[in-house]
Amino acid sequence: MLQVGDEALDFSVLFLLVFGLSRSAAGSSLLTASLYVFVVMFRFPPVPADRAGRVLRPRSLSGGVPVVAHRGGGHDAPENTVAAIREASRNGATGVELDLSFSSDGVPVLMHDETVDRTTNGSGPVSKLQFVQLRRLDASARHRLKDRFSGEKVPTLQEAVQECIKHQMVIFFDVKGQPDKAASVLHEVYKKFPVLYNSSIVSSLEPKVIYKMRQTDPSVVTALTHRPWRLSRFGDGTPRTLSTWGQLWTGLLDILLDWAHHHILWKLCGISAILVQKDFISHDYVQYWAERGVEVVGWTVNTAVEKDYYQNVLKISYITDSLLEDCDPHL
Ligand SMILES: *[C@@H]1O[C@H](CO)[C@@H](O)[C@H](O)[C@H]1NC(C)=O
Ligand SMILES: *[C@@H]1O[C@H](CO)[C@@H](O)[C@H](O)[C@H]1NC(C)=O
């Protein structure tokens, strides 16, 4: 839902900001107007609300809010594996979040990190290993339940998709980079399994990934992932850089990025949802996005108290590492 008043306010704020910095009325007008024209000309309309709703509010078994297993539910089973998808389904998740990566010979597989070291018995970057080499690894090797899941393989994207379809699980495809390759591979998968248009969403921290995805296939439901202070701070809150200037500069960039996400990028990409770090979500925040036709999904919600809050107070879906018990976030 596009609100004219909202848009006028955004661009007025931008104008005043640029004017305040540059003291040039002509320059600020030109910049604001160009940005406005750019957004209007190049934005993708969001997919119809009923289809986005099928993905974001699927039937849920318990009648509760949708619950998505982070990396397939990395606490309950080895992350990003077929076994994890099966476990998540068995434990009542409505969907799984999965990470797309590529072997050195271009095979799309599931892997969160850039290297295989943390999760498998191998070592080195995924992008330097051929698919046959990846396939020989034990994807459960470093998991706390490795005995139960021993011999689990790194799955191909297609194997994971087929397992999800079999269990009627919604898929959140998380894409870290390589916009062109990811968009074309996912487009092929959607063509091969059209049910995905009704049962999956592509998300990324990188707006260019989402923009490219919608350019390649405007029918795909998409989401931006947002973590405030991402450029200046790590996931656990510690500063990325120790120098004062570095912190100031990355902090400023964070403010700009935050503004851009909330006022420009969401519209440009035509997203249906925004996946936000749980500590920044309030009732008002959910309302802000609801007025714009965008659903908020919280991550990573790992304790019973928090889950209760999402279920009964915020009444929005969330992403969790475990369907079964409280656990620390898997960063
Ligand atoms: C990893 O474990 C698998 C399965 O046990 C084994 O076949 C493979 O040789 C191991 N790879 C390495 C690099 O240790
Ligand atoms: C998506 O669901 C709608 C409503 O159930 C249905 O009409 C449509 O054919 C489905 N599309 C695909 C690609 O499965």
Identify which of 137, 146, 150 to mutate to test ligand 1's pocket (most ligand atoms within 8 A of the CB).
Answer: 137
Q: How far is the CA of 328 from the centre of ligand 2 (A)?
A: 38
What average pLDDT score do residues 308-327 get?
96
Q: What is the pLDDT of residues 127-156, one digit of tens each?
A: 999 999 999 999 999 999 999 999 899 999
- The closest-lying atom of ligand 2 relative to the alpha carbon of residue 194 is 13
Q: How far is the CA of 138 from the centre of ligand 1 (A)?
A: 6
Q: What is the pLDDT of residues 158-192, one digit of tens each?
A: 999 999 999 999 999 999 989 999 999 999 999 99
Identify which of 54, 161, 171, 198 to mutate to test ligand 2's pocket (most ligand atoms within 8 A of the CB).
Answer: 198
Question: Going by CA atoms, what residue is nearest to atom 10 of ligand 2?
Answer: 198
Q: Tell me the pLDDT of the chain averaged across its residues.
A: 92
- Domain ranges for the chain, please list them: 1-42, 49-320
CATH 3.50.50.60 fits domain 49-320:
no
Q: Which residue pairs from 100-103 have beta carbons closer than 8 angstroms and sit at least 24 positions apart in sequence?
A: 100/157, 100/173, 100/174, 100/175, 100/176, 100/182, 100/185, 100/186, 101/126, 101/127, 101/176, 102/126, 102/127, 102/178, 102/181, 102/185, 103/127, 103/129, 103/130, 103/131, 103/133, 103/134
CB of 109 closer than 8 Å to CB of 131: yes
Q: How far is the CA of 55 from the centre of ligand 2 (A)?
A: 11
Inter-helix orientation angle 4-22/25-42, to 10°: 140
Q: Is the pLDDT of residue 3 over 60?
A: no
Looking at the CA of 116, name the nearest ligand: 1
Q: Is the pLDDT of residue 210 over 50?
A: yes
- The closest-lying atom of ligand 1 relative to the alpha carbon of residue 122 is 13
What average pLDDT score do residues 186-202 get?
98
DSSP label at residue 152: P
pLDDT over 70 percentage in the chain: 97
Query: Which amino acid type is present at position 234?
Result: F
Q: How confident is the model at residue 48 (pLDDT cuts 50, 70, 90)?
A: very high
The residue count for the chain: 331
